Structure 1
């Protein structure tokens, strides 16, 4: 039986249990700005947890290619998110636990996400998500 997950931008993020635990650890380690920490805590409280096999294909997670539009300065960028251990800039991969990975994990294609970076709050639109 297939699980149907309903989602709109106002709904909760969707995370695997493992990713949920990794985000909790980021908060526990106090590695985030106050704005970002409060955002992650709110998201975790309302998060939908699923098995990896139930994760919709358009949700940002480990082993996904994501294209983003930075709505703050109207630039586009793409990331290939992998586990922290496999991330290598020379290979064009980024850790899902990098600041941008933590900012958008659990969100879906079409969602807008706010995140504090370099002392200012930026807004991103997730333009595309695919599995790698």
Structure 2
């Protein structure tokens, strides 16, 4: 990921994601160590704010967002979830997937870039359809 724009994360998301990373780093059979490093980098650079203070246009965990692929022009709705809730058929993408890591903390209107085997992929976050914090659904 080239982009170094400021990203925002709630305190509760940060705690849960740090715990997830710790658990995965303890496992010997984790396939994507490089990806865990990328997620760790994203967490370290995030500006952490209380859940009540996160702006409603920021992608947080369990957010549902509409994105536009700037390469193809296709629009897709993704739901960013923790690994146990991921379901590719229903566009429920894990935070551990490269696209999930790329999206967390960015805002509506931002263009997110990351490298894929075929080259650079760019998604524009068109809309935050649902954000738990904006809906009053705060994580513990």
TM-score normalised by the chain length of structure 1: 0.70
Specify every segment of 5 or more residues in structure 2 that has no aligned partner in the other structure, as ranges: 26-31, 132-140
User: Residue 30 of structure 1 corresponds to which residue in structure 2?
Assistant: 33
Pairing 1:3-18 to 2, within 5 Å after superposition: 11-18=5-12
Specify every segment of 5 or more residues in structure 1 that has no aligned partner in the other structure, as ranges: 1-8
User: Residue 28 of structure 2 corresponds to which residue in structure 1?
Assistant: none
Q: Is the 8 A contact 2:9 2:49 kept in 1?
A: yes
Pairing 1:55-74 to 2, within 5 Å after superposition: 55-74=54-73
Runs (4+) of structure 1 exceeding 4 A deviation are 43-46
Give the Cα–Cα distance (whole angstroms) in 2 for the partners of residues 95 and 68 of structure 1. Answer: 16
Give the Cα–Cα distance (whole angstroms) in 2 for the partners of residues 84 and 75 of structure 1. Answer: 25
**Number of matched residues?**
120
SS at match of 2:33: coil
